[in-house]
Amino acid sequence: MRRAQRLLLDALKYCLKFGLIASCAVAPLGIVAAPAINLQLSSATVILVPGTSQSITVSAAFVGGPSRAVLGWSGLPPGLTATFQPTLIESPEPGVNVTSVMTITADSTVVAGRFVFDVIAAESGTDFKVSGQAQVTGIVEEPFSLTLGGSSTANAGESVALSVLATRKPGFTKSITLSVDPASVPILTAVRMTPMVLTGNDVASTVQLNLDSDARPALYRVRVTGSYGSTRVASSHVVNVLLAPVPPEITISAAPASATIAPGESTSYQLAFTRNFGTLGFGQFTQTVSGLPPGASATFLPAVPTPPSQLVVATTSVTPDGTYPLTVTAMLGTLVKVTTVDLVVATPRNFTMTLTPAAVTVARLANTDIALEVQRTGPKSDVTVTIDALTVPAGVVVTSTPTVLNTSTTAASVKVTVGATANAGTYSITVRGVSGSLTRTAILTLTIPPPPPSDVTIRVLTLTTTVASGGTTQIPIRLTRTGTAVGALLELRTSGVPLGGNAWITPSTTLGDSATLNVIGGNAGIYFVGVSVVRGAFPPTDIAGVTVTASSAGDFSILPAPQTLSVPTGTPTSAAVQIGRTNGFAGAVSFVAITDRPSDYQVTFSLNSTTGSGIGMTITANSNVPTGPHVLRLRGTSGSIVREVSMTVDVTSAPPYMPPYYPFGIKRPPQ
């Protein structure tokens, strides 16, 4: 109630201020109009094109107290702006409408279409906090249209002129950029447009299409696009490209240009024919050949030429040597074309080889001779034959005497030598003769019989093992003896030592049936370490596969030097133990020796431990140690790392005692 009274009092004060007592008096007591701003537009619809502006008059009526307002807008799409003149409107007295001119401008980026936005009047300067609004519907139209016309038919190789007409909307004078879609014209077409840009009031341009002579006949819908800002307007026109009339023409070619054959042989030439569109309706090609030598004949395949074609020339044994130009003629209607190829008939130089005998049996460590005969045919000048052998098995050597047979030499001797390492079996050896570009062969069958059985076999008990680079491993070896090998002293050897490492067998000589293969890993890789018994012409062998892996851990290996040491009974004998250190290992290494007869050996080391690369060692065997090979194990320890290898100690009898010799029985005084 108090708020209503206050509003009534404010209304009366307003009437007294502006001399409106009569108007106020007739209003029923207690009824006051609510504050409001009512907007009226001169047009609720505005039509624009990019690059132009339109104006609308905005009329504002203030009711119930407000008298000032700020004009604005809401909801204009991108590319459109609106300004008001004036932006601030004020009523001089109640009941008097005030106006402002709103100007709407469309820039080049606006997109054609329909839109709706609001004109807003927000009360300003008083405390009524009211606003008014009115809605405007806008339409953005494309600022221009294109029409494409002109000639519609042209032959390949000719030019086509098309006219481009731009129809501008009233008031639109901006520049229009024209372009031709390259995908809408024949390939290799040169396009020229004059002018390319329509400025001001320009409305016409000419597009000239210079068609390539190889343009494909077809209907092309040539598309021209006019651009202004975001506006793209296109128009198209159909151009019919026809095949350009050409005079009739044919061609013929042949390959190869020259062919060489021996009498009685055949050769062929590939013939290629071409014809252009001007020969349509001329029918089929016909072809002939002339210039054939005596005894020769020619055939065309197929008989009715369908490009490509083939000319086959066959000679007989009576066809003379010589060079013969052959003329091949192609005819199509009244058109005639010829091409020439050479036929060279030449009896070639040649030779053959015969081995006598062609099959031999040769045992290991034996050899034999085979007679080789060369038979030459054709021209014999420069027929020099060089003899060698191919597919020769490992362990076999094949030689020829002489190696080169000149034109006057018709025979050679081929020697086959079979080595001790050759594997038994039957092999085909190719004996080859080469003379310039000629190569002839003869097959020699070589049979290598298996060796007689051995009375001892050797086997590694660990076929494959892995060791780190610089590390140590031991592989047990088993010997099986029969016949005279039982109780015999056997020497054992190794082969295929890892690169950068070492391998040896202990004992290196033995009366027993077991031994140990010691391996020190070197460079990373896969190695096949061989163990063999030195016995007979064909030593028994076996192979252990050792894989050496790269390692970054610090490590050491020990190597006795030598691996086999001769120790006379009762005589201290020196040796050394080499230390191989890898990956920066620098720890101190101490050694112990383990013998098969601890109480009968004395093994001393020059140092208790060492950080160096080796250590000295002295071995003494007393008279209780039987002569012959013994195994001494060496163990090196550095912290938690323990490495062990073995070496062969060959104990021999002490040399007989030789008392001093004093001439004439006179003892020399001590020095």
CB 278 within 8 A of CB 243: no
At residue 461, the pLDDT reads 95
Pick the CATH number of 144-242 from 1.10.10.10, 3.40.50.12240, 2.60.40.10, 3.30.9.10: 2.60.40.10
In this structure, which CATH number among 2.40.50.140, 3.40.50.300, 2.60.40.10, 3.40.309.10 belongs to the domain 452-551?
Answer: 2.60.40.10
* Residue 66 to residue 84: CA distance in whole angstroms: 20
Q: Are 256 and 244 in contact (CB under 8 A)?
A: no
**Which superfamily does 250-277+284-345 belong to?**
Immunoglobulins (2.60.40.10)
Report which of 566, 506, 549, 501 is spatially closest to residue 531, judged by C-alpha positions. 506
pLDDT above 80: residue 236: yes
CA-based end-to-end distance of the chain: 154
Fold of 33-140: Immunoglobulin-like (2.60.40)
DSSP β-bridge partners for residue 194: 206
The one-letter code for the residue type at 62 is: F
Full strand arrangement of the beta sheet holding 472-481: 456-460, 472-481, 514-520, 502-506
Pairwise CA distance, residues 139 & 112, whole Å: 8
What percent of the chain is modeled with pLDDT above 90?
52
Q: Name which of 458, 441, 442, 445 is nearest 505 in CA terms.
A: 458
Whether 203 contacts 172, CB under 8 Å: no
Can you give the length of the chain in residues? 671
Long-range interactions of 609-612: CB distance < 8 A, separation 24+: 610/579, 611/586, 611/587, 612/579
CA distance readout (Å), 525 to 462, 467, 468, 477, 546: 18, 10, 10, 23, 8
Q: Categorize the per-residue pLDDT at 230 as very low, low, confident or very high, splitting at 50, 70 and 90.
A: confident
Between CA 634 and CA 636 the distance in angstroms is 7
d(CA 207, CA 42): 45
Q: What is the pLDDT of residues 491-544, one digit of tens each?
A: 999 988 999 999 999 999 999 999 999 999 999 999 999 999 998 877 888 899
User: For domain 350-448, is the CATH number 1.20.120.80?
Assistant: no
Beta carbons within 8 Å of 557's beta carbon, 6+ residues apart: 470, 471, 472, 520, 521, 579, 580, 582, 643
Contact 81, 105 (CB under 8 A): yes
Domain ranges of the chain: 1-32, 33-140, 144-242, 250-277+284-345, 350-448, 452-551, 552-655
For 552-655, give the CATH class: mainly beta
Q: Is the pLDDT of residue 324 over 80?
A: yes
Q: What are phi and psi of 3, to 5 degrees?
A: -65, -40
Lowest mean pLDDT among 246-250, 347-351, 613-617, 662-666: 662-666
Of all residues in the chain, the percent with pLDDT exceeding 70 is 91
pLDDT band at 31 (very low <50, low <70, confident <90, very high): low
* CA-angle at 381, arms to 375 and 385, nearest 5°: 50
Structural contact between residues 633 and 644, judged by C-beta atoms closer than 8 angstroms: yes
**536-555 average pLDDT score:** 89
Burial class (CB in 10 A: 0-12, 13-18, 19+), 640: exposed
Q: How many alpha carbons fall within 13 Å on the CB side of residue 159?
A: 10
Residue 449 has what pLDDT? 92
Q: Residue 158: what pLDDT?
A: 86
Backbone angles phi, psi at 277, to 5 degrees: -65, -20
Look at residue 441 and give its three-state secondary structure: strand
Give the model's confidence band at 468: pLDDT under 50 very low, under 70 low, under 90 confident, else very high: very high
Look at residues 285, 293, 302 and name the one whose alpha carbon lies nearest to residue 326.
Answer: 293
Please name the residue that has the structure tokens 């039982």: 486
Q: Which two tokens stand for residue 244?
A: 């350009």
Least confident of 66-80, 144-158, 251-265: 144-158
CA distance 397 to 422: 10
**The pair of three-digit structure tokens given for residue 164, joined into one six-digit string:** 């481009």
Q: Does the pLDDT value for residue 284 go beyond 50?
A: yes
* 361-399 confidence digits (pLDDT tens): 998 888 999 999 998 877 665 678 899 999 999 989 999
Q: Which residues pair with 53 in a beta bridge?
A: 105
pLDDT class of 2 with cuts at 50, 70, 90: very low
Distance CA 646, CA 506 (A): 6
Per the CB < 8 A criterion, the answer to whether 313 and 288 are in contact is no
* pLDDT given for residue 5 in this prediction: 44
Q: What is the mean pLDDT of the chain?
A: 87
